[in-house]
Structure 1
Amino acid sequence: MFEIIPPEHPLRPGAEAVIRAAFLRDHGAVLADLPRLLVAEHDGGVIRCAASLRFAADGFFSERYLDAPIEQLVTRHAGIRAMRGDLAEVGSLAAARPGAVCPLVGGIITLLRRQGVRWAFFTATARLRTLLRRADIPLIELAAADAARITHAERWGGYYRQDPRVMLVGDYMVAAPFPPACPPERLRHA
């Protein structure tokens, strides 16, 4: 079940634990504070996959990797004029297994569409980019994520050795409803 998790939500500790454990396990990263809004896919309260969401009013973490404001890059790369309110950032995606990602991504897409968000962007490792492409999500690359652009890069462990890049996807680029097909065999080895 897809769940929106603000700070006071009873599933918040579990969602944060899944994110922190995955980043520690996969990258040796010790994440500091997580964004105010999380989303999760759970089964009876057991978190299978979680991520963070940021909207314009929250500030965008991945924007620090960019040489221009995100809305200008959307216009430049997609040829469609964008406003900051048209955008959301997805971050800290973490799952116990790759197959758990698709239902969460589907829930995020549905939520953002209902909110009127036309563009989502995120920083993705090579592995995550492969997984999303196998799920038929077309991606526009905006920039490499350079550790020199953040403070306390050492807290991220080996994350920056995983070729993270800032990616963009437009609502019109994703089939509705999503996922049209997200079989586990397509996501294995991502």
Structure 2
Amino acid sequence: MNSTLRNLALSATLIAVPAAGFALAEMMISPAVHGTAAARSPGLGDLSAYTSIVNDTQTIAATGDFAAAEHRITDLETLWDQNASALRQVDRAAWNTVDAAADETFSALRAGLPDQATVDAALSALSTALDAPVPAAATGPVQYVSGIAVTDESGRAIPCEDLIGQLRTAIGSTTPVAAVADLQAKALERCNADDDAHADAFSAQALALLNG
């Protein structure tokens, strides 16, 4: 998700990323309804706060005021990001299901010209995911970059914060070589841009270099 909290948590100063870097990462990635008031999931616990925001957003979006709807759904994004680490630890697969639906909703409302049908469908899917965050079915083998997993069993990119955290731990208090530092900066930039796939690819490459 793209939020102020994520940006602050990841990095304050980032370097520019050449377009060629994105192309390299792309090549290295292996192929691959309103909710109820209670909105409880055995895996993720009480999600009613999120459902309430989605309900509000649906009501606003129905009037065609997409700017106001986007403003309201940002409250969900902020709350979701605040609790992301804890929720992932409780049930990573269920978290991924809701997170994917949330990302689709953000994209629909933040489009240059939001489409009513697309917005309605995205909000309905998010409401359903919050009501019953059933993990997505496996779509294929886990994907790897430089021998390091960059997706889960459902084919969804691993949250970029996870691999960046692993990279920071691996670097520790040492000063990384230029190639590792460059990849780390690219991973941070892509993660801040909500581009988990490329961020994970850069982090994986950096981890592979550190692992020798």
TM over 0.5: no
Instruction: Place the TM-score, normalised by the shorter chain, in its bin.
Output: under 0.3
Q: TM-score, normalised by structure 2?
A: 0.23
Q: Which has the higher helix share?
A: 2
Q: Which has the larger radius of gyration?
A: 2
